[in-house]
Amino acid sequence: MCGIVGYIGKRKAYPILIKGLHRLEYRGYDSAGVALINEAGQLNVYKAKGKVAELEAFCAEKDTEGCIGIAHTRWATHGEPNTVNAHPHYSESERLAIIHNGIIENYAVLKAGLMEQGYTFKSDTDTEVLVQLVEYTQVNQHVDLKTAVQLALQQVIGAYAIAILDKTHPDTLIAARKGSPLVVGIGENEYFLASDATPIVEYTDKVIYIDDEEVVSLRIGEKVDITTINNVTKTPEIKRLELSLSQLEKGGYPHFMLKEIFEQPRTLTDSMRGRVNVRQDNIALSGFIDNKERFLNAKRIIITACGTSWHAGLIAMYAIEEYAQIPVEVEYSSEFRYRKPVINKDDVVIAISQSGETADTLAAIQLAKSKGAFIFSICNVVGASIPRVSDSGCYTHVGPEIGVASTKAFTAQVVALTMLALCIGKEKGTMSHEQYLKIVRELGQIPDKIERVLGQNKRIADFAKTFTYAQNFIYLGRGYNFPVAMEGALKLKEISYIHAEGYPAAEMKHGPIALISQEMPVVVVAPRCGTYEKVVSNIQEIKARKGRVIAVVTEGDELVSKIADYVIEVPETEECLTPLLTVIPLQLLAYHIAVVKGCDVDQPRNLAKSVTVE
Ligand code: G6P
């Protein structure tokens, strides 16, 4: 939610900031803006509604000089997405400009106090309150900018990653964070600042991840200065980035989403590298090995996540209960954090998050931690907030996922969780050695099998055209493939704006069956395993009511092929691994329907990839 970027150094800041905004656009694209201090000491702020390209067009004829600047791409929270509410925001005297990612919860009280002091407000945002508060503090307490930021933030309740410029100090860039991510890049006589490392990677691989309630002061010729908001000095910890520029480009694909779908054979190989050893028939997960006792003694596992990651958690529930025989509860982080759940010291909490920054999941972890539970996280972004606050975990290593709709992160989460279930099951002796061996060997085959499913892309693209008329879709599945049905429906909703619902196939008769007519496409995930025959009966029930069925089946299935309108085959595999294959056609189907409808696949309306507000 919102991307922030900053630069101070010898180069022209504007092109660096714009490029950075493009990289962060996945975080929000309601409006964009930039603030620069030029040689003459003027602080110029330019803003435009819509995407970064609109800002660039707006700035084409403007003075974009200056070697210090900040820029922002917005996902609207307070105030509608328009130019006035776009960031950066000036202070009353227009001496300061601020950008902000997060929400200031007590903005109304602070604003009322400032209005009493004669401050006026142009926008409806909480952010403008913050910059006014900093200026008010600076003026009334006669302190420098850093101290004013510290004092102002002491009064703030909420989440923030901010960056501030002061035109009377064009050699200083101040930033701070609490709850929203912030990374500093260290170059030669220059500093970069961003919500994640993607705007920084082409200039330096040396970064510092700023922690909650820390204020960072960046000045040319001086070392990075970090203090807490209470002015306690911190020692910066410089880390090396493991990110390459090519990972941030489309590599010949029309959209990041398609690239990421097609990357899955490789990304899953990367996720399993050094962990799944097919030759030795073994899985080694260091996060498990180092904390074996916590898992073996766990009375219960609570999985907490949002969106697609929550669906991966549901699949894990089936695998962990089947193989490790530990009761599992899967919780939406946003509900869990507020519903006073019973959490015990011997519970293991698994938090799943691609970005590692989702505010609700972070809060759920903090709650569980405060009750003494052990926190294990499955995360993709290395160094993000969630892995940093967890006791242990497992990175998925799929590289940056840029398409807002999650694809490759999902399959890697399922692989990581399956590996974990197998490690616990083997160690506890709750699964047979034969079962364990079969699944380990089969995991090694999954990348090739996904490759075979991807070979049907063209055919899926062809029949996807038939369904662009639809207003509604139903997705059905059972067992391990019920969460896949929900994930397929979510993908379609997110990027094509067609209403879709994922349902357990057997529940259809308790409601959704009333919706079925020849207008209603029904996607049925029906690989040959578990409750296959029962799902076939559900397909018959749909056909009897003239519904149109798209079925995902196991290769060689003759039964469903005869009754369904369209059939997509996936190779045979172990039941617990079927989601890794059955979800691929659903990702492709959603993608192609959205493309034919002319939707913005990588940046669907109203969504953002990293949800750092609750
Ligand atoms: C947003 C994204 C989804 C993602 C969810 C959870 O809604 O658009 O793709 O599944 O957040 O994000 P996380 O980073 O915690 O997995």
What's the gap in Å between 404 CA and the centre of ligand 1? 8
Report residue 344: phi and psi, to 5°: -110, 165
Determine if the peptide bond prior to 88 is cis (ω within 30°): yes
Is residue 613 predicted with pLDDT exceeding 80?
A: no
Relative to the CA of 358, which ligand 1 atom is closest?
15
Structure tokens at 515: 């919706």
In short, whether 490's Cβ falls inside 6 Å of ligand 1 is no
pLDDT band for 433, please (50, 70, 90 cuts).
Answer: very high
What's the gap in Å between 612 CA and the centre of ligand 1? 10
Cα separation, 374 vs 279, in Å, equals: 32
Helix (H) or strand (E) holding 328: strand 328-332
Cα separation, 404 vs 239, in Å, equals: 27
Cβ neighbors of 89 (< 8 A, separation 6 or more) are 97, 98, 100, 122, 123, 125, 127, 128, 131
Structure tokens at 391: 């006791």
Structure tokens at 453: 């499913």
Reduced to 3 states, what is the DSSP secondary structure of residue 497? Answer: coil
Overall average pLDDT of the 502-510 stretch:
90
Relative to the CA of 494, which ligand 1 atom is closest?
8
Structure tokens at 592: 């192609």
What's the gap in Å between 407 CA and the centre of ligand 1? 11
Q: Which of 406, 413, 493, 602 gets mutated to test ligand 1 (max ligand atoms within 8 A of its CB)?
A: 406
Cα separation, 347 vs 22, in Å, equals: 42
Q: Which of 261, 336, 352, 358 gets mutated to test ligand 1 (max ligand atoms within 8 A of its CB)?
A: 358
Percent of the chain whose pLDDT exceeds 70: 100
Relative to the CA of 355, which ligand 1 atom is closest?
14
Is residue 329 predicted with pLDDT exceeding 90?
A: yes
pLDDT band for 170, please (50, 70, 90 cuts).
Answer: very high
Report the nearest-CA residue for atom 13 of ligand 1: 353
What's the gap in Å between 293 CA and the centre of ligand 1? 31
Cα separation, 139 vs 117, in Å, equals: 12
Cβ neighbors of 241 (< 8 A, separation 6 or more) are 197, 200, 201, 204, 205, 206, 207
Percent of the chain whose pLDDT exceeds 90: 85
pLDDT of 276-326, one tens digit each? 987 888 899 999 999 999 999 999 999 999 999 999 999 999 999 999 999
Residue with tokens 């913005």: 600
Give the model's pLDDT for residue 28.
83
pLDDT of 231-256, one tens digit each? 999 999 999 988 877 788 888 899 99
Pick the residue with more confidence: 514 or 423?
A: 423
Q: CA-CA-CA-CA torsion for 472, 477, 482, 483, nearest 10 degrees?
A: -50
In short, whether 406's Cβ falls inside 6 Å of ligand 1 is yes
Cα separation, 213 vs 192, in Å, equals: 19
What's the gap in Å between 143 CA and the centre of ligand 1? 41
In short, whether 607's Cβ falls inside 6 Å of ligand 1 is yes
Cα separation, 490 vs 480, in Å, equals: 17
Is residue 66 predicted with pLDDT exceeding 80?
A: yes
In short, whether 380's Cβ falls inside 6 Å of ligand 1 is no
Is residue 614 predicted with pLDDT exceeding 80?
A: no
Q: Which of 611, 612, 614 gets mutated to test ligand 1 (max ligand atoms within 8 A of its CB)?
A: 611
Is residue 611 predicted with pLDDT exceeding 80?
A: no
What's the gap in Å between 89 CA and the centre of ligand 1? 28
Is residue 513 predicted with pLDDT exceeding 90?
A: no
Overall average pLDDT of the 375-385 stretch:
93
Contact present, 392 and 561 (Cβ < 8 Å): no
In short, whether 612's Cβ falls inside 6 Å of ligand 1 is no
Cα separation, 120 vs 131, in Å, equals: 12
In short, whether 609's Cβ falls inside 6 Å of ligand 1 is yes
* Residue 420 to residues 10, 389, 416, 542, Cα–Cα distance (Å): 48, 20, 6, 37
Q: What share of the chain is helix, strand, coil (3-state, %, to 5)?
A: 40, 25, 35
pLDDT of 451-467, one tens digit each? 999 999 999 999 999 99
Provide the whole-model pTM: 0.84
In short, whether 481's Cβ falls inside 6 Å of ligand 1 is no
Give the model's pLDDT for residue 374.
97
- Please tell me what DSSP assigns to residue 321: I
Report the nearest-CA residue for atom 15 of ligand 1: 353
In short, whether 413's Cβ falls inside 6 Å of ligand 1 is no
Overall average pLDDT of the 153-162 stretch:
95
Give the model's pLDDT for residue 250.
84
The catalytic site residues sit at: 2, 609
Cα separation, 511 vs 507, in Å, equals: 7
Exposed, middle or buried: residue 144 (CB in 10 Å: 0-12, 13-18, 19+)?
Answer: middle
Is residue 37 predicted with pLDDT exceeding 80?
A: yes
Give the model's pLDDT for residue 576.
98
Give the model's pLDDT for residue 245.
79
Treating both helix axes as pointing N-terminal to C-terminal, what angle do 482-496 and 578-596 enclose, rounded to 10 degrees? 20
Cα separation, 398 vs 395, in Å, equals: 9
pLDDT band for 50, please (50, 70, 90 cuts).
Answer: very high
Report the nearest-CA residue for atom 1 of ligand 1: 609
What average pLDDT does the structure give for the chain?
Answer: 94
Structure tokens at 575: 């039941």
Cα separation, 603 vs 404, in Å, equals: 6
Q: Which of 303, 306, 357 gets mutated to test ligand 1 (max ligand atoms within 8 A of its CB)?
A: 306
Report the nearest-CA residue for atom 8 of ligand 1: 609
pLDDT of 76-89, one tens digit each? 877 788 999 999 99
What's the gap in Å between 306 CA and the centre of ligand 1? 6
In short, whether 377's Cβ falls inside 6 Å of ligand 1 is no
Overall average pLDDT of the 255-264 stretch:
96
Instruction: Read off the amino acid at residue 139.
Output: V
Helix (H) or strand (E) holding 347: strand 347-353
Give the model's pLDDT for residue 317.
98
Beta strand extents in 179-274 (DSSP E only): 183-186, 191-194, 206-209, 214-219, 225-228, 233-234, 239-240
What's the gap in Å between 523 CA and the centre of ligand 1? 23
CA 277 to chain CA centroid, nearest Å: 29
